[in-house]
Structure 1
């Protein structure tokens, strides 16, 4: 390690009031390069990572964002379909310190949201370290600092970042969920995940099986209809379909307001009552509701209710066929759990995403089996020893903004305390 890097390491250690305890060789470790970071290390340059970096920057606290992709918000830029819009009104999705442009519609498009994030990044001079995959992050008991080990995707170079604070901002949509279905290898048509789906143009005139009935599955089916394809949606388990708006109010906004006054189960009952009035009985169309209400289910499992953007009308008209879970695939057909057989030209897996935090964060007590913070909302943003999480809130980008501010405020207290010593 070069002499100036050693000096920076010692400076970092003095910030943490432990300079006399740390041996330089211990700090350097075994990686090719060790980089001390006086502020937090943030893993992930999606909206969550950008939000907390901006909040820290506003307080004069530097940070380093590590991003495995070559761009910010890689999920939005690389793995979303063309027709995607924000499911919630824009004022619930704006990041801290910068609102959406007034000219944007209530539900911004994918391109508009990415443009907003680009502007946000420039506004706060956020410069992530791209093509840098975090392979492990572990708290070193000896020096009482976090060691974050990365591999460069371009040249394979290993770099280790050392910091007092670690912020996990990879969220719940880091990796595609790819189910194992009997006979997948025998199917002669194309099989893709929605992360590779852009438009129904490629499926015109085809019979397409969409596996999954969440927001993505519903919207992909709607998009296929708009491009003269024949979509069928396989539904494995119950799903709550809610209207996107209720008498001009955002369903999300109304729920948030009601939760300040009433228990979750009461709000769920009201939502289901109104949804039955607005949308009718979805059970008649093969969309059975779970026993637990939409908000309770979201809090307990992370499963998001569907906010209808027009797919339900296509289901009622028969343009989208609803089928039970798939039992197996053959060369050109799918067999369903009720014994029905249907022919298909293509299969789209609308099976969602999951967190990958368990693959790199070496802190077993922090995460549960679903790879989410073990502590429930609203306390999942903070853990011990300078570990934080942002982007795991069941309230989406609205919750992300709240947690980003909390994290920045908490780190600021430590930062100022060290500065005054």
Structure 2
């Protein structure tokens, strides 16, 4: 057999694709269960989108974490107290690298190694083809490459003679100096970038298709998600009512700044955790415009008939969810993969996704929950076949309501939107039902190297070595 046709059989090992936060959570969970795995990363470092040097990352210099420090850390590895309430992208990158070091995850990652294709064989095993042609066989594949790599550029009639870009190309607010700029889109990143434009551009606009509810990052001196998490767990209708009263008192009627009225109730779509944009609107440093109708030369014509002459239009219109190396094995609806609990393929045995979901809080703790479920299921396949068979039936047939009582906006983005507490509650019930054990503080303590936080200078002293595969 020629070497280029050779297949390396990795027995019962699991293949993890990607070493961002989700992929690292998965590696730690498998390690905790004593399961063999191999991990591949196309870039030269862990961190995924948080490494601003990673080609194609949507990261920009002013980006900060959207959830707060104390609500967002990995289980058994909290973010250090010297971080601010909302850490910067550089601090999150440092934190993720520190996490990989503290749990000794670097050694099993093959860096600068992209996965070209994943193929399911007739026997149910997975054949993974790496860049360069190397092929390796696994019993399971975890796709942990995330969903913020394929820019979504809506089609707009006409030709714009200025500069037209997607926000994935944006890195530094200095790019706006001396220009008339418009940001299209009002997700949290779009609002952040609009604030950069308000501060640095000669003239700044933000085009919004719909109105949003604005939640301050701090309420009563505490991060907003901390207030929500530590406060009494009330029925959703009552929680919404309380928050609406608070927001009305703090923000007043935001329509006076030119913002459109939200066409949905609070929490039915993502709120904007950004009162800085309100600050710039209050001071006239940025203006709100409606949806774009078409382009005419250097003019942008809006659906209300008004127009503006601009130098730069930046689309902060999100990303197409994709998994190009395994796309044919996912069922897509509204551009979103349809997975049990947003994790498990219902059709293809032992194909998993980490991070293929939209939710309203604490992503890293949610990654821990997802990874733990996958690892326990894979362990059961080897050690407790009856429990594995029971869960396989759930993957095929269970359709839990994970809305948490919220009627989410009917849009592509919300096809897989779920309420984080509802998902965690369901996973907790599965752990109890299947005997997976509780996921609580101390669960990963035995895997830690030393105590405390590993700083950047300490990280730079650590040599990263590739494993012998």
TM band (smaller chain): 0.7 to 0.9
User: Structure 1 residues 89 and 293 mapped into 2: Cα distance closer, same or farther (>3 Å)?
Assistant: same
Structure 1, unaligned runs of 5 or more: 6-29, 298-303
User: Structure 1 residues 147 and 240 mapped into 2: Cα distance closer, same or farther (>3 Å)?
Assistant: farther
* Contact 1:32/1:158 (<8 A) preserved: no
State the 1:249 CA deviation: 3.4
SS at match of 2:267: helix
Correspondence 1:169 to 2:144: yes
Structure 1 residue ranges (4+ consecutive) displaced by more than 4 angstroms after TM superposition: 30-33, 256-260
Q: Match of 1:388?
A: 352
Q: Which structure 2 residues correspond to residues 157-306 of structure 1 after superposition, within 5 A? A: 157-183=132-158, 186-256=159-229, 260-263=233-236, 265-297=237-269, 304-306=270-272
User: Structure 1 residues 293 and 71 mapped into 2: Cα distance closer, same or farther (>3 Å)?
Assistant: farther
With structure 1 as the length reference, what TM-score do the two structures score?
Answer: 0.80
With structure 2 as the length reference, what TM-score do the two structures score?
Answer: 0.72
Deviation sequence 1:325-372 (CA, Å, 0-9, x none):
11112331111111101111111111122321376233344x433323
Q: Match of 1:347?
A: 313
Paired positions, count:
373
SS at match of 1:275: helix
Q: Which moved further from structure 2: 56-65 or 75-84? A: 56-65
Supply the distance in 2 between the matched residues of 1:260 and 1:361 (Cα, whole angstroms): 39
State the 1:319 CA deviation: 0.8
RMSD of Structure 2 on Structure 1 (CA): 2.7
User: Structure 1 residues 411 and 209 mapped into 2: Cα distance closer, same or farther (>3 Å)?
Assistant: same
Instruction: Identify which of 7, 12, 16 aligns with 1:42.
Output: 16
Deviation sequence 1:170-229 (CA, Å, 0-9, x none):
23323211222223xx43322222222122212213110111111111111211233253
Instruction: Identify which of 74, 83, 91 aligns with 1:95.
Output: 74
State the 1:389 CA deviation: 2.2
State the 1:257 CA deviation: 5.2
Q: Which structure 2 residues correspond to residues 102-181 of structure 1 after superposition, within 5 A? A: 102-123=81-102, 124-126=104-106, 127-140=108-121, 142-150=122-130, 152=131, 157-181=132-156
Q: Which moved further from structure 2: 328-337 or 278-287? A: 278-287
User: Structure 1 residues 35 and 121 mapped into 2: Cα distance closer, same or farther (>3 Å)?
Assistant: farther
Q: Match of 1:338?
A: 304
Correspondence 1:402 to 2:374: no
